[in-house]
Amino acid sequence: MTIKIEMMRCFSTVAQTGNLSEAADQLSRTQSALSMTLKQFESLIGQKLFESDRKNRLSPLGEQVFELTQEQLRQFDNTVNAIKNAANHPRGLIRIASIPSVSSVVFPTAIKKLTKQFPGLKVELQDTDTQRVIDTLIQGQADVGIVSGQHTLSGIRSVMLFEDQFGLICSPDHPLATQAHSPVISDLLSKDFVSNNLCKIIESEEFKEVVSRANVSVHNTLSLIGMIRTQNWITVLPQQVTHLLPNELVFRKIHLLEEKRPVFCLVRERSPYLRYAEALVKIVCD
């Protein structure tokens, strides 16, 4: 007998729930059948995976096997989903994950051109932050991703799209919005400065000091914008994000802060929909 994917799924579910009863309910199995599958799995491995028969604590080996089975199950489930997508979308499918500041500006036109080029093509687009875009690509849940910053990833090709200038975002009545001269980095040393994920891209030592002193960090762009609209909070974001901003917010360049955010398109080279992904990249880059 060899190790089967169902054995790994049973073991993984029990490890996550910590008991046979709940795991059996999730898997629609009897407890006795689940227990037998676990015994077969441990027999094939040759060692115990749980500290006791209660199954509420993994052994040291069980911890390692759990991580490995989780990875294998993700790959298997992604493959199954890809097969189902191929069957349900015989004319093709492309899945895109993108940072919001780009998806709202670039993709309305790009997707229209792509679907005209490939009639019947299905398109799925999701907005999320850079790290989630990367995770989605690695897990095989997206074919094309748009991210902030450069990232070297195995099996994923990177194409630079553009760079945009960082600047101050604040309400129109904020003192930094109304002053005659451009704000400087030291103007940001305020208890009202809100840090965000994109601030990490900026290498200026003076600006890093500003970020280190920030008492508030907000990582969701729309939540961040919501804060800036109230209570005179301020932050620093790339100019491209201004396309998402309500009219009552202001973007101002910061004197001597010349750094820009690089925006890259990532293509999963082993995607079953690589043909459409490459066509989309060509449209976006042209």
Q: What is the pLDDT of residues 167-189, one digit of tens each?
A: 999 998 899 998 999 999 999 98
- The residue ranking higher by pLDDT, 125 or 88, is 125
pLDDT at 260: 94
Q: For residue 88, is pLDDT > 70?
A: no
CATH fold of 87-161+262-285, please?
D-Maltodextrin-Binding Protein; domain 2 (3.40.190)
pLDDT tens digits, residue range 189-230?
877 999 998 999 999 999 999 999 999 999 888 788 888 888
Amino acid in the structure at residue 70: Q
Question: What letters, b where the CB count within 10 A reaches 16 and e where it falls short, cover 171-195?
Answer: beebebbeeeeebebebbebebbbb
pLDDT at 232: 83
Residue-level pLDDT at 212:
94
pTM of the model: 0.66
CB within 8 Å of 215: residues ≥ 6 apart: 191
Across 33-37, 239-243, 264-268, least confident range: 239-243
164-259: which CATH number, 3.30.450.70, 3.40.50.620, 2.60.40.420, 3.40.190.10?
A: 3.40.190.10
Tell which wins on pLDDT, 191 or 7: 7
CATH architecture of structural domain 5-75: Orthogonal Bundle (1.10)
Confidence of residue 283 (pLDDT cuts 50, 70, 90): very high
Q: Which residues contact 184 (CB under 8 A, 6 or more apart)?
A: 254, 255, 256
For residue 263, the cross-strand partners are 148, 162
Q: Scan for tokens 């760079």, then name that residue.
A: 163
Examine the pLDDT at 91 and tell me if it is beyond 60: yes
Q: Is the pLDDT of residue 87 over 80?
A: no
- Do domains 87-161+262-285 and 164-259 share one topology? The answer is yes
144-148/93-98 β-pairing: parallel
Domain positions in the chain: 5-75, 87-161+262-285, 164-259
Please determine, for residue 100, whether its predicted confidence score (pLDDT) is greater than 70.
yes
